């Protein structure tokens, strides 16, 4: 279970360092990676990374989805390396040169993850922002194209939904795959949600996910530790099945 815990990412989607610290203390020992996103990082900056280290000794996934000109992205990556982040996201829509510079700028073991398509987006959303009808109809193909470009840019991994991870993993088995939008099908509570392309923990792992990002199912449950433990058990079983075949 301890090894599987290292593959479970919990997002600290709060704007207050004290509240983030409470969640880290509540879940330490069960969660191996804590995600610091835009909300918390904008509020408190590098202090969030330091807090996770001090409270849990866990890895930090800095999910900033960098999307800017190459020089600015590279500078942000170097800064993330200096504050001790373990993973950092850059958006593929920043283009080849920005993503390539991000990969080149990473230091000290920082892993660069390229975001393909946000799991909150539907086909209609993509068409609205200008995606071709062909790609909008086939989200797997769109994500695969972005993953292919990410691979050529030299990143360590990609962020994608469980619906696209199988094709990406098959084409690029050495790319680390991080999958958000994970919702246990055994959870009784109904969740107000903006995720559209979702899967259960077992489905995502069996499809090829290496890491799962699970937030609301844990955070909004009556017993967060119990839910995390059950998710870990489902992940462990799925990993066992995947590597047995």
**Residue numbers annotated as active site:** 65
Residues 42 and 29: their CA atoms lie apart, in Å, by: 27
Q: How many CB atoms lie within 10 A of CB 5?
A: 20
Residue with tokens 């290292």: 6
Q: How far is CA 81 from CA 62, 74, 109, 157, in A?
A: 10, 11, 8, 17
Output the six-digit token pair for 156. Answer: 């360590």
Residues in a beta bridge with 31: 28
Residues 195 and 205: their CA atoms lie apart, in Å, by: 18
Residues 48 and 44: their CA atoms lie apart, in Å, by: 6
């Amino acid at each position: 279970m301890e090894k599987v815990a290292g593959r479970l990412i919990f997002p600290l989607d709060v704007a207050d360092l004290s509240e983030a610290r409470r969640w880290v203390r509540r879940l330490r020992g069960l969660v191996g990676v804590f995600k610091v996103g835009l909300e918390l990082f904008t509020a408190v900056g590098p202090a969030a990374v330091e807090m996770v280290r001090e409270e849990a000794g866990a890895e930090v996934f800095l999910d900033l989805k960098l999307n800017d000109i190459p020089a600015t992205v590279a500078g942000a990556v170097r800064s993330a390396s200096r504050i001790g982040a373990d993973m950092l996201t850059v958006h593929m829509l920043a283009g080849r040169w920005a993503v390539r510079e991000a990969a080149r700028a990473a230091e000290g073991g920082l892993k660069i993850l390229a975001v393909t398509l946000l799991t909150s987006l539907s086909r209609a959303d993509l068409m609205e922002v200008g995606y071709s009808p062909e790609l909008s109809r086939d989200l797997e193909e769109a994500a695969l194209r972005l993953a292919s470009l990410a691979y050529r840019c030299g990143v360590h991994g990609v962020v994608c939904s469980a619906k696209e991870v199988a094709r990406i993993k098959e084409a690029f088995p050495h790319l680390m795959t991080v999958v958000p939008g994970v919702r246990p099908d055994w959870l009784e509570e109904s969740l107000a949600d903006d995720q559209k392309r979702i899967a259960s923990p077992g489905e995502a792992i069996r499809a090829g996910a290496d890491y799962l990002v699970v937030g609301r199912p844990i955070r909004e449950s009556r017993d967060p530790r119990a839910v995390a433990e059950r998710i870990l058990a489902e992940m462990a079983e799925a990993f066992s099945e995947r590597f047995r075949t």
